[in-house]
Amino acid sequence: MGRVVCPENILEEIPADILLRKVIEKKKDGQRLVQICASYVGGKYELSYSFSKDSTYQLTTLRIVIDPETEVPSITEIIPHAFFHENEMKELFGVKVIGINVDYKDKLYRIKEETPFIPKEKEGE
Answer yes or no: are the C-beta atoms of 64 and 47 closer than 8 Å. Answer: yes
The topology under which CATH files domain 10-98 is Beta Polymerase; domain 2 (3.30.460)
pTM for the predicted model, two decimal places: 0.86
Query: DSSP label at 83?
Result: H
> Helices H, strands E: what count in the chain?
2, 6
**pLDDT digits over 79-101, tens only?**
999 999 999 999 999 999 999 99
Residue 7 pLDDT grade (very low, low, confident, very high; cuts 50, 70, 90): low
Domain ranges (residues) in the chain: 10-98
pLDDT computed for residue 1 by the predictor: 40
Residue 125 pLDDT grade (very low, low, confident, very high; cuts 50, 70, 90): very low
Cα 109 from Cα 3, distance rounded (Å): 40
* 7: Cα separation from own chain's centroid: 22
pLDDT computed for residue 57 by the predictor: 82
